Amino acid sequence: MSVKKFVVGCFDDEKTLFPAVKNTRKAGYKIHDVYTPFPIHGLDHAMGLRDTSLHTAGFIYAMTGTTTALTFMSWVFTKDWPLNIGGKPHLPLPAFIPIVFELTVLCAAVGMVLTFCYLCQLAPFVTKDHFHLRATDDLFVMPIEVTDKTNVEEVKAFFQNAGAVEVFEKEAETGWWLGRYDKAKKAFEKEEIVTA
Amino acid sequence: MSLLRYESQVREPLVDGHKTYHDVTEDICKPVEAAPTRLWWIGFIISVALLLFGAVSLYKEVVYGTGMWNLNKTIGWGWDITNFVWWVGIGHAGTLISAILLLFRQGWRTGVNRAAEAMTIFAVICAGQFPIWHMGRVWMAFFVMPYPNTRGPLWVNFNSPLLWDVFAISTYFTVSLLFWYSGLIPDMATLRDRAKKKWAKAFYGVASFGWTGSTKHWQRHESLSLVLAGLSTPLVLSVHTIVSFDFATSVIPGWHTTIFPPYFVAGAIFSGFAMVQTLMLVTRKIMNLEDYITISHIENMNKVIVLTGSIVGCAYLTELFMAWYSAVKYEQDIFFKYRIAGPYGWSYWLMMTCNVITPQLFWSKKLRRNIAFTFLMSIVVNVGMWFERFVIIVSSLYRDYLPSSWSVYYRPTIWEVGFYLGSFGLFFTCYFLFSKYFPVIAIAEIKHILKKNGESYKEQMDGIEEQSVTEFAHEHAHAH
């Protein structure tokens, strides 16, 4: 958990957002993140983010499900308790297909969702600091981190030129803490007092 | 300007009215934030009352056994399994809309997918009740799970389609729930950030899992939705296929056919879309969402209904043909003496009328776009699909190989009907709570398509498109 200072620029149209992102990177400012109310295709590439490999994880989970189901059922029917079911073979592979398939899908889906939640730090009671409440409504919010070398006024002017509809400074917690959104007191504010 | 870059003018906008992003948020969040109306309370109380009646009926069944449902040795699967297959079928539309239509890049899915997925989950919960309580000794229901036990361990029979069903339905429920909820998280965050009341902040705060809308998170979210859609597509087809195996792998005349899997899947989509229509037509009216669930959405769903209804009709005729062509006496007797005729003949003809004949009216564009008619048809189709399962189950069972055990006439008792009504109570209690406290339309997804398929965009583009046509003609005139 660390509290940092940011200059925040808010945009209300993709048409101004994309050039702004491009120019910000060109000017050498470090974009902390861009918060948007819906997925904007191409923004990740414009920001220079690499592609996610979540689907690879999904494939691995799927294969885990497949092998678990196959080995378990084969072990039960050939080694642990070979039942004679109407004189049918002990290893009826075609009859295993439905359960193998279902377990493949189940493991892939559950595994991927849990991985997604872990990577994005999402869980019930996880609370985060938000730069702008309208970031989930109609604003595209781009904070730039303020370091010792940053000229705050320059960044603000830069945002205004880029077509931002709102520009402000804000101190924000970049991590997460356990809490509830209806509690006004933020966990990190208390810590600030202790360290100060 | 490329001619292929824009949508055809024939396509109607998916979002009516000249909306901005903020308008979308307002329109969808307002009914959630407002206090429940009197109409909502009436509906909710009726649903809870039905649910309680269902609970009383179940109490009777648990204490006295499945004999309370008039089930006997011959007709062991009466209303109960009929209801199971009916609800599971209804539960197919949601994932079909959200997964298959996502893979096919059908933009119109965004208006209806959230509510349809919710409906899927509630329908699968209702469906699950029937085989579980049908076990009789319901406290031993966990025996269907392959867990190490002190009886050997004695494992379950992995060759049995009934066990495949356990895996299929529970996987389907889990995956649908994950798919639905992962899509809900960003919209819950929208509600959280708008919340004024303390309870709403707390509830939507917990429910949104701390979603921020970070670009990286969206990127992962998109990847997750796409893969889940890819997984759900074969899953949704597998579930009703496996349900049909419950019948098809048996040696009962009238069940023992290879046509069952595609026939059941088409029927499931057919009844599922009918239920989506029933719910959507009421929801869009009461919650003022006509701009998002437009007439063209309704027409698209009616097209799916007429297509799948015709596939189902084709399957009915194929069954009759195969019974005759197989030259098996038992098959022929079941179909020609006891199914289309005999004491249950009326249910066969009711099924034919509701599922095959009346949906053909949807070939008329005027009727496809008529709301009152669509609503009526959605009920008719659901009645027909209930009778389809009833016909398959009861008309094959009441005349078995041994004439001495033929059952004369099977009538459900009030407790069996009560259990069915109770499942409606459960379904609508869940749906009422969902439509009041959750965003019924995927807000983020609507915003995502707004600039492509919104009305203002279409009007803007129509000009450019016409211009590009003349440009195109112009260029080619010069080239040759």
Do β-strands A176-178 and A126-128 pair in parallel, antiparallel, or remain unpaired?
antiparallel
Rounded Cα distance between B453 and B50, Å, is 41
Residue B3, in any domain of the structure: no
For residue A166, give how far its alpha carbon lies from the nearest alpha carbon of chain B (Å). 16
Question: Taking Cα atoms as reference points, which of A34, A10, A135 lies closest to residue B194?
Answer: A135
The structural domain count of chain B equals 1
Kindly indicate the confidence band of residue B149, based on its pLDDT and cuts at 50, 70 and 90.
confident
Residue B470, in any domain of the structure: no
Kindly indicate the confidence band of residue B349, based on its pLDDT and cuts at 50, 70 and 90.
very high
Using the beta-carbon criterion (under 8 Å), do B220 and A47 form an inter-chain contact? no
The pLDDT of residue B4 is: 47
- Residue range A77-103, pLDDT digits in tens: 999 888 888 888 888 899 999 999 999
Q: Are residues A66 and A19 in the same domain?
A: no
Quickly count: other Cβ atoms within 10 Å of residue A31's Cβ.
Answer: 19
Side-chain half-sphere of B341: how many Cα atoms within 13 Å? 4
Q: Are residues A83 and A58 in the same domain?
A: yes
Side-chain half-sphere of B94: how many Cα atoms within 13 Å? 27
- Residue range B350-371, pLDDT digits in tens: 999 999 999 999 999 999 999 9
Residue B97 has pLDDT above 50, yes or no: yes
Q: Which of A98, A120, A137 sits opposite B193 (nearest CB)?
A: A137
Cβ–Cβ < 8 Å for B50, B370: no
Using the beta-carbon criterion (under 8 Å), do A122 and B227 form an inter-chain contact? no
**List of E strands, A27-119:** none
Residue B106, in any domain of the structure: yes
Rounded Cα distance between B207 and B184, Å, is 9
So what's the ipTM on this one? 0.91
Q: Are residues A111 and A59 in the same domain?
A: yes
Averaging pLDDT over each range in A152-161, B355-364, B452-461, which range is the top one?
A: B355-364
Kindly indicate the confidence band of residue B1, based on its pLDDT and cuts at 50, 70 and 90.
very low
Cβ–Cβ < 8 Å for B73, B405: yes
The pLDDT of residue B78 is: 85
Kindly indicate the confidence band of residue A117, based on its pLDDT and cuts at 50, 70 and 90.
very high
Average pLDDT, chain A: 87
The structural domain count of chain A equals 2
The pLDDT of residue B454 is: 72
Residue B291, in any domain of the structure: yes
Mean per-residue pLDDT for B72-82? 86
Q: Which of B164, B190, B199 sits opposite A37 (nearest CB)?
A: B190
Least confident of A149-153, A188-192, B24-28, B48-52: A188-192
Strand order in A166-173's β-sheet?
A140-145, A3-11, A166-173
Supply the range of the domain harboring residue B419: 13-135+155-462
Q: Which helix (H) or strand (E) holds A172?
A: strand A166-173
Residue A126, in any domain of the structure: no
Supply the range of the domain harboring residue A10: 1-35+136-149+163-196
For residue B11, give how far its alpha carbon lies from the nearest alpha carbon of chain A (Å). 23
Least confident of A100-114, A132-146, B7-21: B7-21
Residue A7, in any domain of the structure: yes
Q: Does B449 touch chain A (CB under 8 A)?
A: no
- Residue range B192-203, pLDDT digits in tens: 999 888 899 999
Cβ–Cβ < 8 Å for B220, A54: yes
Backbone angles phi, psi at A165, to 5 degrees: -90, -20
Cβ–Cβ < 8 Å for B84, B268: no
Q: Radius of gyration over alpha carbons of chain A, in Å?
A: 25
The pLDDT of residue B2 is: 44
Side-chain half-sphere of A188: how many Cα atoms within 13 Å? 14
Using the beta-carbon criterion (under 8 Å), do B227 and A54 form an inter-chain contact? yes
Residue with tokens 């019930």: A124
Q: Does B220 touch chain A (CB under 8 A)?
A: yes
- Residue range B235-262, pLDDT digits in tens: 999 999 999 999 999 888 889 888 999 9
Residue B143 has pLDDT above 80, yes or no: yes
Q: Are residues A10 and A59 in the same domain?
A: no
Least confident of A70-74, B366-370, B454-458, B474-478: B474-478
Average pLDDT, chain B: 88
Least confident of A85-94, B126-135, B418-427, B447-456: B447-456
Residue B5, in any domain of the structure: no
Residue B140, in any domain of the structure: no
Rounded Cα distance between A179 and B387, Å, is 52
Mean per-residue pLDDT for B95-119? 85
Mean per-residue pLDDT for B384-407? 88
| pTM attached to this predicted model | 0.91
Residue type, B437: Y
CATH of the domain at A143: 3.30.70
The pLDDT of residue B411 is: 83
Using the beta-carbon criterion (under 8 Å), do B159 and A125 form an inter-chain contact? no
State both tokens at A148: 């010792």
State both tokens at B44: 């909710």
Residue B471, in any domain of the structure: no
Residue A181, in any domain of the structure: yes
- Residue range A10-69, pLDDT digits in tens: 998 888 898 899 888 888 888 899 999 999 988 988 888 899 999 999 999 999 999 999
Q: Which helix (H) or strand (E) holds A169?
A: strand A166-173
- Residue range A28-38, pLDDT digits in tens: 888 899 999 99
Residue B434, in any domain of the structure: yes
Residue B6 has pLDDT above 60, yes or no: no
Q: Are residues A27 and A59 in the same domain?
A: no
Kindly indicate the confidence band of residue B174, based on its pLDDT and cuts at 50, 70 and 90.
very high
CATH of the domain at B98: 1.20.1630.10
Q: Does B198 touch chain A (CB under 8 A)?
A: yes
